Amino acid sequence: MGAMKANDLPFSIHFKSKAISPYSFGLTVHKPAGWSFLTPHEVFEDNILWTAVRMPDGKMYGLKLKSTGTVKKPAILWEVFSQEKLDSNQTERVFCTIAWVLSAQEDIRPFYSLANRDSLVNALVNDLYGMRRTKRPDIFPQLILAVTLQMAPIRRSDQMMTLLIKEYGEKIVFDSKEITYWPSPAMIANKDFRELKERCKLGYRASVLKGIAQALCKGFPTLQELEAMTAEAAKAKLMELKGIGEYSADMVSPHPGFALDVWSAKIFGLLLLGKESETPRTVIPRLRKIAEKRWGRWRGYVLTYVLNDLPNLSKRFKLNLEEL
């Protein structure tokens, strides 16, 4: 990896940004559950992250991030690598988008203050102090994730995503690292769905993904634009896409939501109701209501924290959350 120095993206600029405390850089960009920050093929070594970004206009950039502060006094150094020298407009756009993705200016202290009266939040905050939810620069990877998770065991979802990136992803090289990023909507929109199906083992999802890619190419709000809409309007817009239902829309929407599937419903069934439901799908609406009432706008944070803290929670509450 990374021997192709000649192809490296030649230009780079540095930024330094502060974040509102507490902000754990390591827990945020390299989540305990193993979820990637922006692409499964990014590199995280010695507390430095090399990854890739596709901006809403389709341009790809290399991104190198490292912490120059602490959880209490957070500061992040970024380096953005590009094929062409960025003008001031592009620089501004890239800066704003990446700052938004990092959620560095989000104040999570109200969430942490819930710990005073909520034993679950108290446990989460202790275990994962300073971890943040982050955003995505572009919407298509999130939609791919949502669609490949549907009706498939997690191993098969992984397989489909890995194949999509391998067959149709975009590769960039910078700072002696090679990073592969998700396919663009244009790439998938133009493929024959039988080829997609066979090469990526997508089953019926091949035509679903192709349809979504085509809809994005025709014009669709960016994630930042969806965030500027009301939560209801953003969700309705997402559900106009064929193959995106309530769960997927909640998962993709940048608004706080509580996207429960059968797997996470089993986990929250144990945590909130003390038992695993025999029909997890039917208790989802009930769990969503409880979560909204108990955690309000921070319920999405609780979801992310819980799913990244299963080993600790299992021990602490004497539950078997890891093998659901």
Partner DNA sequence: GCGTCCAGGTCTACC
Partner DNA sequence: GGTAGACCTGGACGC
Q: Residues in the site for DNA, rule: CB under 7 A?
A: 146, 149-157, 159, 197, 201-205, 207, 239, 241-249, 261-264, 281, 307
Quote the least distance from Cβ 300 to DNA, whole Å. 13
DSSP three-state, residue 32? coil
Quick one: 84 or 240, whose CB is closer to DNA?
Answer: 240
Quote the least distance from Cβ 318 to DNA, whole Å. 22
Pairwise CA distance, residues 189 & 174, whole Å: 28
Quick one: 39 or 90, whose CB is closer to DNA?
Answer: 39
Quote the least distance from Cβ 148 to DNA, whole Å. 9
Written in H, E and C, the secondary structure of 126-170 is HHCCCCCCCCCCCCHHHHHHHHHHCCCCHHHHHHHHHHHHHHHCE
Quick one: 50 or 258, whose CB is closer to DNA?
Answer: 258
Pairwise CA distance, residues 28 & 38, whole Å: 12
Quote the least distance from Cβ 249 to DNA, whole Å. 7
Quick one: 18 or 237, whose CB is closer to DNA?
Answer: 237
Contact between residue 104 and residue 19 where contact means Cβ atoms under 8 Å apart? yes
Contact between residue 210 and residue 90 where contact means Cβ atoms under 8 Å apart? no
Quick one: 19 or 238, whose CB is closer to DNA?
Answer: 238
Pairwise CA distance, residues 46 & 212, whole Å: 38
Quote the least distance from Cβ 99 to DNA, whole Å. 27
* CA proximity to 9, closest of 108, 85, 68: 85
* CA proximity to 210, closest of 197, 221, 227: 197
* CA proximity to 54, closest of 155, 174, 172, 156: 172
Quick one: 155 or 293, whose CB is closer to DNA?
Answer: 155
Which residues, including other chains, have CB under 8 Å from residue 32's CB and lie 6 or more apart? 128, 308, 309
Quote the least distance from Cβ 161 to DNA, whole Å. 12
Per the structure block, which two tokens stand in for 84? 């062409």
Quote the least distance from Cβ 28 to DNA, whole Å. 18
Quick one: 189 or 310, whose CB is closer to DNA?
Answer: 310
Helix (H) or strand (E) holding 248: helix 246-252
Which residues, including other chains, have CB under 8 Å from residue 279's CB and lie 6 or more apart? none
End-to-end C-alpha distance for the chain, whole angstroms? 36
